[in-house]
């Protein structure tokens, strides 16, 4: 297990000689992150965690590729390539790609539950039928610029059609509300699984914790039950997948038959940022960036029209079952900052929310952003996505701050991220006040994104 901060400096292969490399000020930290990624590397991808998540996860691989770009760029490309080899014919990139060498009971719900082989147009390997936020084009573009090379350009060219197909799937099959936004059909698709953002739509999903008796949860074998979703949450998760699977994971006519349909600000901001990144990639490989720029602008307009509430100055998810914005003010509301075309008024609104007591963003801040509003009655500092701080969300917000020229705030956030992981190690998530590490102690995206923030 690699979660201590080693005290010796050693040699590394980080590019350049800046703060991020193995011989610089943060050398020991760099080595811990590197050792974490090495230990989680699995022939062509990196598992998020050997214990809790022993397969390949979609948005994890994107964040992890960003880290590998600093160490071994060929692994960054392998990470994304192996994921896109599992892309379905309709363009969806599955949220889990199962490793057949891992015992089927090691993770719940495992390969047998998803039964992807019974569906037309699926790849030879077993996968889930859900997706996750499409941060892959952003990651590919970021990784490429961190380690520019001819091999990188070749890989961008190879990935480009899959990245475009991923976006097309979300823009067509998943535009369930018909207004230019993609809907998620399960909280797992948001990546922030049991965020209070989903409490309202989840409460309408018929399920009973007793229905879980036929299954065996594995997460609570490796992590404290009090830090994980409840059995009732899991019963609902299972019920929603069961409904989607029964329809062959098809998206046609979902409003008539599906219990969970939500337009998420982070998910859709990621789509917009993906189009921005694809414009850069297209220009680099000799394709036309124009359509990507246009799509980025349209997605930004739709996010504004559908998810911005001028009364409160916040972005919140829209529940398609009620056609209402969900009430909780979570960190999801800060995600539209990654849209470079976000108008100044909404940039200011997001910054007002981020710098308020709810989230505590500042040029000097003790801790990174929590995942939920600190002042809310249902803020839970220990429970996964209901309060703890996560490196990937903080990385995205920092990316957005830099994109909008808020360098002082971005620097404050960066320093707090380095301090957090430097003290606690590469944990999955962190207590938002004490900084104590929670969940998996050797978590890949924490290590990968730490390397990226150390580098610049
Ligand atoms: C968590 O989600 C999985 C289900 O996909 C789980 O709880 O078993 C989330 O934190 C998700 O964002 C992440 O991709 C995954 C693997 O790290 O774990």
pLDDT profile of the chain (456 residues), mean per 10: 34 39 85 98 98 97 98 98 98 98 93 96 98 98 96 97 99 98 98 97 90 83 85 93 97 96 98 98 98 98 98 98 97 98 98 98 98 98 96 98 98 98 98 96 98 96
User: How far is CA 290 from each of CA 140, 281, 293, 395, rounded to the nearest angstrom?
Assistant: 19, 12, 5, 27
| pLDDT at residue number 18 | 41
Task: Tell which one of 55, 94, 188, 230 to mutate to probe ligand 1, the residue whose CB is within 8 A of the most ligand atoms.
Answer: 188
Ligand 1 atom closest to the CA of 192, numbered from 1? 12
Give the model's pLDDT for residue 20. Answer: 56
State the catalytic residues. 193, 428
Residue 21 is predicted with a pLDDT of 66
Show the tokens assigned to 222: 């490796």
- State residue 182 phi and psi, 5-degree precision: -85, 140
Contacts of 393 (CB under 8 A, 6+ apart): 192, 331, 335, 369, 371
pLDDT reported for residue 1: 37
- Residue count of the chain: 456
Report the nearest-CA residue for atom 17 of ligand 1.
48
pLDDT of 6: 30
Task: Point out the ligand 1 atom lying closest to the alpha carbon of residue 219.
Answer: 8
Q: Tokens at residue 210, please?
A: 């007793």
Task: Name the nearest CA neighbour of 143 among 280, 347, 26.
Answer: 280
Q: Whose CA is nearest to atom 9 of ligand 1?
A: 191
Q: What is the pLDDT of residue 8?
A: 29
Q: Give me 345's structure tokens.
A: 């008024």
Q: Pick the atom of ligand 1 nearest to 58's CA.
A: 14
- Bridge partners, 57 (sequence order): 96
């Amino acid at each position: 297990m690699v979660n201590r901060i080693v005290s010796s400096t050693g040699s590394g292969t980080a590019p350049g000689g800046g703060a991020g490399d193995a011989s610089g000020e943060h050398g020991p930290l760099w080595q811990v992150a590197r050792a974490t990624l090495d230990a989680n590397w699995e022939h062509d991808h990196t598992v998020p965690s050997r214990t809790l998540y022993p397969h390949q996860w979609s948005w994890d691989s994107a964040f992890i590729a960003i880290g590998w770009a600093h160490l071994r760029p060929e692994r960054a490309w392998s990470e994304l390539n192996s994921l896109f080899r599992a892309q379905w014919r309709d363009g969806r990139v599955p949220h889990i790609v199962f490793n057949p060498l891992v015992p089927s009971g090691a993770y719940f719900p495992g390969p047998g539950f998803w039964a992807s082989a019974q569906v037309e147009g699926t790849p030879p390997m077993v996968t889930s039928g859900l997706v996750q936020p499409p941060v892959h084009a952003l990651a590919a573009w970021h990784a490429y610029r961190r380690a520019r090379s001819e091999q990188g350009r070749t890989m961008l060219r190879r990935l480009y059609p899959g990245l475009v197909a991923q976006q097309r799937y979300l823009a067509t099959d998943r535009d369930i509300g018909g207004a230019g936004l993609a809907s998620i059909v399960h909280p797992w698709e948001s990546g922030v699984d049991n965020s209070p953002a989903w409490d309202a739509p989840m409460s309408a999903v018929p399920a009973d914790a007793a229905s879980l008796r036929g299954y065996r949860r594995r997460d609570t074998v490796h992590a404290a039950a009090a830090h994980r979703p409840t059995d009732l949450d899991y019963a609902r998760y299972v019920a929603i997948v069961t409904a989607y699977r029964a329809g062959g994971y098809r998206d046609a006519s979902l409003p008539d038959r599906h219990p969970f349909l939500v337009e998420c600000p982070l998910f859709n901001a990621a789509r917009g940022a993906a189009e921005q990144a694809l414009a850069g990639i297209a220009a680099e490989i000799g394709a036309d960036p124009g359509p990507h720029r246009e799509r980025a602008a349209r997605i930004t307009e739709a996010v504004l029209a559908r998810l911005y509430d001028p009364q409160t100055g916040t972005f919140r998810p829209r529940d398609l079952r009620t056609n209402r914005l969900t009430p909780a003010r979570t960190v999801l509301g800060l995600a539209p900052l990654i849209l470079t075309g976000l108008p100044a008024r909404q940039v200011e609104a997001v910054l007002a929310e981020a710098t308020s007591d709810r989230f505590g963003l500042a040029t000097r801040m003790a801790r990174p952003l929590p995942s939920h509003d600190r002042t809310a009655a249902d803020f839970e500092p220990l429970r996964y996505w209901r309060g703890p701080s996560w490196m990937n969300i903080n990385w995205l917000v920092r990316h957005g701050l830099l994109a909008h020229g808020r360098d002082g705030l971005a620097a404050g956030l960066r320093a707090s991220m380095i301090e957090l992981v430097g003290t606690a190690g590469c944990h999955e998530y962190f207590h938002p006040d004490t900084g104590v590490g929670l969940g998996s102690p050797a978590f890949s995206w924490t290590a990968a994104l730490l390397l990226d923030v150390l580098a610049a």
